């Protein structure tokens, strides 16, 4: 495994990030343990979770699974760079969500208890909170860093302007600020190329793409349907909307002799701003299969063909839409 720096930090992480969102709702605890053990065996040391994962309000089901896995010992905690998140609703009272200093403090302490650890490597704001000033947010994060409960701070689902605001406010406080941004990014969702990616590059943030397979759309969905796999109504609607592109896409991957999911990940890995796409395996086979993406190298001709099938916004703003 070749490791890479998380943004401008010295922290070394694997080029694939293990997403845990399926742990609990889709994947049993025992299978979740097996996937995490296999990830470490394969050299994947970067895991992503969130306090709301598990989708039982206030319970942090997925964080608890990770915590119980760590509690088995054998250096599991020491090997893993863990990223979790704060923002989502953890209760029905008004201060049990978003990014007030009070909620950041309480949410962090609750995540630490569930994870059975004394520090979080990367604490990510799951969404921007337009009603809380950056002075308040950074004061709360600085306190957590001073106490050793958080090492690095990241964002998720931020616009380029939010990244700029956040890091300029942090700079004025002589604080490191954001080191990563977790965004929706895949061949079918390239809007972040307009302003989020330039902001990440300008401020030294590592980009962590979520939904790299566009909810399964880029994972060979036409072939799976043809082979009798059932698709949800949402996926069926997306297939009909993008059928012409998907036919070209799957033919392109067949010509390469590679699985569509692996090519989709390989394309992201080739984007200079990307630190590590998040893979969300439900099974061991899905996990091990993802490593093929690390070996695929797309040529300039391949990339041009992909741009033709899945056009981006035209590059960075403002050149993408202005002279």
- Residues with a catalytic annotation lie at 53
138-142: long-range contacts, CB 8 A cutoff, minimum separation 24: 138/169, 138/170, 138/173, 138/175, 138/177, 139/101, 140/100, 140/101, 140/104, 140/105, 141/104, 141/175, 142/173, 142/175
Measured at the CA of 101, the angle between CA 174 and CA 48, to 5 degrees, comes to 80
The residues pairing with 48 across neighbouring beta strands, listed in sequence order, are: 19, 83
Quote the CA–CA distance of 69 and 92 in Å, as a whole number.
Answer: 29
């Amino acid at each position: 495994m070749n490791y890479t720096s998380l943004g401008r930090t010295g922290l070394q992480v694997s080029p694939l990030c293990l997403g845990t969102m399926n742990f609990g709702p889709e994947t049993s605890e025992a299978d979740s343990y097996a996937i995490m053990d296999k990830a470490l065996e394969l050299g994947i040391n970067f895991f992503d979770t969130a306090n709301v994962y598990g989708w039982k309000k206030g319970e942090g089901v997925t964080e608890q699974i990770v915590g119980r896995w760590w509690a088995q010992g054998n250096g599991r905690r020491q090997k893993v760079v863990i990223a979790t998140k704060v923002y989502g609703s953890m209760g029905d009272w008004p201060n049990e969500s978003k990014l007030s200093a009070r909620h950041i403090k309480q949410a962090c302490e609750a995540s630490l208890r569930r994870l059975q650890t004394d520090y979080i490597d990367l604490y990510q704001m799951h969404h921007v909170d337009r009603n809380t000033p950056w002075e308040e947010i950074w004061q709360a994060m600085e306190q957590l860093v001073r106490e050793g409960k958080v090492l690095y701070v990241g964002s998720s689902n931020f616009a380029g302007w939010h990244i700029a605001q956040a890091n300029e406010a942090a700079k004025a406080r002589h604080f490191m600020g954001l080191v990563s941004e977790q965004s929706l990014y895949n061949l079918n969702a390239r809007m972040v190329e307009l302003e989020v990616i330039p902001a990440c590059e300008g401020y030294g943030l590592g980009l962590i793409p979520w939904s790299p397979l566009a909810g399964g759309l880029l994972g060979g969905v036409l072939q799976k349907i043809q082979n009798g796999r059932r698709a949800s109504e949402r996926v069926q609607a997306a297939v009909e909307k993008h059928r012409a592109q998907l036919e070209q896409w799957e033919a392109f991957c067949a010509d390469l002799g590679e699985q569509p999911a692996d090519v989709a990940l390989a394309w992201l890995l080739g984007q200079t701003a990307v630190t590590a796409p998040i893979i969300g395996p439900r099974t061991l086979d899905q996990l091990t299969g993802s490593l093929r993406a690390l070996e695929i190298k797309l040529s300039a001709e391949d990339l041009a063909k992909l741009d033709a099938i899945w056009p981006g916004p035209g590059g960075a703003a403002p050149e993408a839409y202005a002279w």
